[in-house]
Each structure stands twice: as structure tokens, then as C-alpha cells.
Amino acid sequence: MRAAWYERNGPAREVLVLGDMDTPAPAPGEVLVRLATSGVNPSDWKTRSGTRPMAAPRVIPHSDGAGVIEAVGAGVDVARVGERVWIWNGQWKRPFGTAAERIALPSEQAVRLPDNTSFEAGACLGIPALTAWRAVQTDGGVAGQAVLVAGGAGAVGHYAVQMAKLLGAARVIATVSSPTKAAHARAAGADDIINYREEDVATRVRELTDGRGVDRVVEVDLAANAALLPQIVARDGFCACYGSGRAEMSLPFGPMILSGAAIRFFIVYELPPAAREAGVAQLTTWLEAGALQHAVGRVLGLSEVVAAHEAVEAGAVTGNVVMDCTR
């Protein structure tokens, strides 16, 4: 099969290789998926560049993807052959991810993809959509709340805006960095938009919430926004943090303790099994109902894996970057 891989960490153009390797066989409890698409996420280029130790001497990147089950291992219902699926944690703690024509992985990591959902959309679910769901659902959810989604036009933020509305948020505010991204977040359902390059976020939040602040912040970069948090969160408010632009960050203790705010840190790769099961079930319900918009910003071929990594690393695309594994 064709696959993209790297055998050392470094820049995409220096370490990513496209070539042929043996097609894997599904072990007991596994399925073999013929991949149609592979999703490229920030964690993929960061891992390739060396933020985490390599999982093996050769790594096929990417954890997200979608395709069709082609074969099953012992113990897996043969009726699953031919099933359309999307994939989560394809390359997490494993050497071979979805940047290939095929992948073998545990059967529970290949989730049925409703017929009304494209393979391109399926490649956006494992990390962006499940992260967004966890951020708006955890610790009591958002029903009746004012919610601020930091980076509301990003891959996670775009889903988080939608999901907050679907789960009953009273008001969703999104921060963005440009008019184009403002339109993108508003189309997802954001009630209010704050361009943080042109407006003072704390002032605008207070204006929009009559001085109260928001009940929940969905945070993409806590290191950048830590000082802002106690200025925008309501008394005893909450922050769901799934990302940080720096490995270390500091919080202003005085303002934070006076706010009574709580912070939940989480990474989608390590969701508790019960939480992941609930998230997968909720996504399936929304997908079947056609309730979610999927922002596929650019589709590149498997042979263009370097360009795909560079586009995500540069933040050059609004929406998800997806690779077509058939070309």
C-alpha cells in the first residue's frame, strides 16, 4: 500500500516520505480499513516536529480518518465488512496512523459513519469534533449558560459554537482574528463575535453580558489568555482548556481565587472510556440528523502530505485540512 511516514523528527519537507509498504493484516479484535480520507490536525505536525517521543522507528502520522472496513480479525463480526466508518486515535501510542491507503486498528476505534456524512467530514470527527463535544459537555454542560469560544473559527471552535447551541447555551460568543473568520463563526451559530485584534475582549464580554461575564470559556490557548480569564469569567465560572501555545503558563492567583473559577484540562486522546462512548453516541445522533456543519477548508492528495502539514502548521486554512488517500 502507499503511505506517508517519517523515521526522524524534523520539518515536513525534510522528514516526510511517500512510498510503498506492506498492507497490515487485522489482528484479533481489529478491523482493516481502506482509507478514503485522513484528517491533519495541529497535534500531527507538532508530534512530527518532536514535541513527543516517536512511537516507533517509523511513524505513519495522523489519528483521524474515514473509509470502509475491508477485512476483520478474529472475534469481530464479519458483517462489518463493507461498513463506512470514521476513526479516532489512529496514531495515538501506535506507529501507524491514517496517512496511508489502509490501517488496521481495534474495532471500537472504527465508528459507523452515517450514509449522509461524507468521508471528508468523517476525517474531522476524531479530534476536532470530539474535543469540542467534551469542552461544552463536561462538568454539567452549557444549558442556559453564556459561553465564550476562543478561536471560534478554528477546527475545534467551529464545532464548539454549534454544539453549545445544540446543547442549549443561552448565548455563544466567539473570538476571532479577522472578518473572514468572523463570518465563519457566525455561520456556525455564534450570537456575538469579538475580533481580538481590533477590540478589547474583556470590555466587550462585560458589555455583552451586562457586566456579569461568561459562565464557560472553551479555551484553545491558555498560555496566551490566562491573564484574560478572570476578567471575563462569571463568578464561580468554568474554563474547559484543551490547548496551550506554550508548554508552561502562569495564572494570576489573586484575580483567579477571587473569581472562584474552575479549570478543566483535558486531551481528547485520553478521554475516559465512558466519556468517549457518550461523545461518539452524541456525534452519531447529530450526524444522522444532519445537525452539524463540517468545515473542510482544503483537500489535498496523499502525495501532497508535505503541503498538508505545512498548511496546518502555518494556520493558512480556515477549516480542516483533509487528505484524499486515493490520490
* Segment 192-209, tens digit of pLDDT: 999 999 999 999 999 999
Kindly state whether residues 264 and 315 are assigned to the same domain.
no
CATH number of 118's domain: 3.90.180.10
Kindly state whether residues 141 and 257 are assigned to the same domain.
yes
Mean pLDDT of the chain: 97
- Quick one: average pLDDT of 185-190? 97
Asked if pLDDT for residue 262 goes beyond 90, the answer is yes
pLDDT, tens only, 86-127: 999 999 999 999 999 999 999 999 999 999 999 999 999 999
Kindly state whether residues 181 and 256 are assigned to the same domain.
yes
Label residue 161 by pLDDT band (50, 70, 90). very high
Kindly state whether residues 111 and 164 are assigned to the same domain.
no
- Quick one: average pLDDT of 216-240? 97
CATH number of 215's domain: 3.40.50.720
What pLDDT, on a 0 to 100 scale, did the predictor assign at position 133?
98
Label residue 53 by pLDDT band (50, 70, 90). confident
Q: Is residue 235 in some structural domain?
A: yes
- Quick one: average pLDDT of 166-178? 97
Q: Could you tell me the residue range of the domain that residue 49 belongs to?
A: 2-124+294-324
Q: For the chain, what is the HEC assignment?
A: CEEEEECCCCCHHHHCEEEECCCCCCCCCEEEEEEEEEEECHHHHHHHHCCCCCCCCCEECCCEEEEEEEEECCCCCHHHCCCEEEECCCCCCCCECCCECEEEEEHHHEEECCCCCCHHHHCCHHHHHHHHHHHHHCCCCCCCCEEEECCCCCHHHHHHHHHHHHCCCCEEEEEECCHHHHHHHHHCCCCEEEECCCCCHHHHHHHHCCCCCEEEEEECCHHHHCCCHHHHEEEEEEEEECCCCCCCCCCCHHHHHHHCCEEEECCHHHCCHHHHHHHHHHHHHHHHHCCCCCCEEEEEEHHHHHHHHHHHHHCCCCCEEEEECCC
What pLDDT, on a 0 to 100 scale, did the predictor assign at position 234?
98
Kindly state whether residues 167 and 263 are assigned to the same domain.
yes
